[in-house]
Amino acid sequence: MRIRAQKGLTFDDVLLVPKRSPVASRRDVDTSTCLTGKVRLHIPILSANMDTVTEAAMAIAMAQAGGLGVIHRFMSVEQQVRQVRKVKRAQGFMVENPYTVVAEAPIDDARQIMEQHGVGGLIVIDGANRLVGMITRRDLLLAPPGVLTVREAMTPAERVVSVGPSVSSEQARALLYEHRVEKLPVVDKGGTVIGLITSRDVAKSDPHSHASVDDKGRLRVGAAIGVNHGELDRTEALLEAGVDVLVLDIAHGHADHCVAMVKSLRRHFPDAQIVAGNVATREGARELAEAGADAIKVGIGPGSICTTRIVTGFGVPQLTAIMDAAAGLAEAGLEVPIIADGGIKSSGDMVKALAAGADTVMIGSLFAGCEEAPGAPVIRDGRKVKVVRGMASLGAAMGRRATEKGMDESAEDQEDWDKVVPEGVEAVVPYRGHVAEILYQLVGGLRSGLSYGGACTIKDLQRNAEFIEITAAGVRESGSHDVRKL
Ligand code: XMP
């Protein structure tokens, strides 16, 4: 047994000391950062892989604002793949694997596919996936009673304007306009359908936007995976659906099975971007990076809904955990980005996390009250609120088991819930409107923070950072005080 000769500090224990600044305007700073070696983001913010925080709607809004959402893993592989596909289809001037129907199908099949996926048109193909025609909602609406099959109602291929795979967004825009059509099927030299370009997507693809997009202009998205048997199949399905980043998310990531899983993922999917965690020490960060992780997630117990530290007695205050992880990687000469996960209550906390060595931050509760978070708002004591729950809370455990069994959460169950040892709580947070508004405030605070730090970039901020430990009086002085808030 030993006691470390080191004080564990967290965000409220310190302030950053202002530095002489070359920044004249907050507009002149650069908030971009690396999530992994290959994925850059315009803003250093991720939404947490929690079932009350990130599904497709949140991930879309996060990527549109220049950050990234990580879809949680407490759903079936099929459901998670569907969530990823929703994000990948939300934007991007070319949709891969567009919805299709075969020419001989009854027109009711076409109607059903359109309704199921909420699209206004389908590409008609033959058995070899070659373009045969196009059918739209309008064709179905106007088809006389005698028209029974898709082939009879569709516009045949000879009259469909199609393009090759190398078409640019500007060429597609010109063709859509010239021919006054809504959609352009993308076909290869042999006539095989490989994609679809829609006028809506082309109109939305703004080259000056700061959205997080892949090389096809589609929004970027992350998805969480676990270490259990079957997770390699989940990974394969997620990659197939176009996921940009996989987040191997284990409560205690500095563990043999997590290191082994990172190695296994690296071996099976050499090109995948893999985030691994969570850890809170030099050794934890270094070992996951050496195993092949492309970014390390740091945080044991700092989260607003976490009770790990109370239940187990383990954890490292978050600022120290970030500094230690960064030192561990630097000592080993590993340039692997760090994600500071949990405990961010304000833009100031985010600036401190970045200054301490994180490249991005992951946020849960602060986003759980947003419109885009899963679940509807409810009224509690006359105020509009939303529910947030720790992924190791009793409610989340019950929800997971109910989903696995395909039963209602509230239904009577044989399970002995007294045997569950939760490490998280369920709570409510104020309804906060759209996440874009919160992100605007967070990024505004970061821009201002960079200017106080004499920094044009996040890397400058880290180089210049000098923390000062403060007392309880300093903490009190830091908030608004001795006034009655309106
Ligand atoms: P914030 O403070 O942003 O933290 O809400 C979000 C992070 O908290 C972690 N998390 C948990 N940790 N028990 C824990 O000890 C839990 O039940 C739990 N649920 C989420 C997770 O890392 C998340 O990103």
Residue 6 has pLDDT above 70, yes or no: yes
Q: Give mean pLDDT, residues 114-119.
A: 90
- Exposed/middle/buried for 335, CB within 10 Å: 0-12, 13-18, 19+? exposed
Model pLDDT, residue 131 = 95
Domain boundary assignment for the chain: 11-91+210-390+425-476, 96-198
* Residue whose CA lies nearest to ligand 1 atom number 15: 306
Model pLDDT, residue 186 = 93
Looking at the chain, the whole-number percentage of residues with pLDDT higher than 90 is 77
Distance 128 CA to ligand 1 centre (A): 48
Which is catalytic among the residues 258, 306, 370, 456?
306
Distance 415 CA to ligand 1 centre (A): 25
Pocket test for ligand 1, best of 10, 47, 50, 387 (most atoms within 8 A of CB): 50
Most confident of 189-193, 360-364, 378-382: 360-364
Overall fold of domain 96-198: CBS-domain (3.10.580)
Distance 302 CA to ligand 1 centre (A): 7
Model pLDDT, residue 415 = 61
Q: How confident is the model at residue 133 (pLDDT cuts 50, 70, 90)?
A: very high
Overall fold of domain 11-91+210-390+425-476: TIM Barrel (3.20.20)
Residue-wise pLDDT for 56-68, tens only, equals 999 999 999 999 9
Ligand 1: atom nearest CA of 309 is: 15
Q: How confident is the model at residue 31 (pLDDT cuts 50, 70, 90)?
A: very high
Model pLDDT, residue 356 = 98
Residue 417 has pLDDT above 80, yes or no: no
Comparing 170 with 244, which gets the higher pLDDT? 244
Residue 413 has pLDDT above 60, yes or no: no
**Can 11-91+210-390+425-476 and 96-198 be said to share one CATH topology?**
no
Q: Which residues line ligand 1 (CB under 6 A)?
A: 48, 50, 278, 299, 301, 303-306, 308, 341-344, 362-366, 390-393, 423-424
Model pLDDT, residue 93 = 78
Model pLDDT, residue 397 = 85
Q: How confident is the model at residue 334 (pLDDT cuts 50, 70, 90)?
A: very high
Q: Which residues contact 452 (CB under 8 A, 6 or more apart)?
A: 16, 18, 19, 21
Model pLDDT, residue 399 = 80
Model pLDDT, residue 27 = 87
Distance 28 CA to ligand 1 centre (A): 34
Residue 410 has pLDDT above 70, yes or no: no
Mean pLDDT over the full length of the chain: 92
Residue-wise pLDDT for 423-441, tens only, equals 998 899 999 999 999 999 9
Active site residue 258: no
Residue-wise pLDDT for 361-379, tens only, equals 999 999 999 999 999 999 9
Q: How confident is the model at residue 405 (pLDDT cuts 50, 70, 90)?
A: low
Ligand 1: atom nearest CA of 342 is: 4
Pocket test for ligand 1, best of 305, 319, 425 (most atoms within 8 A of CB): 305
Distance 74 CA to ligand 1 centre (A): 14
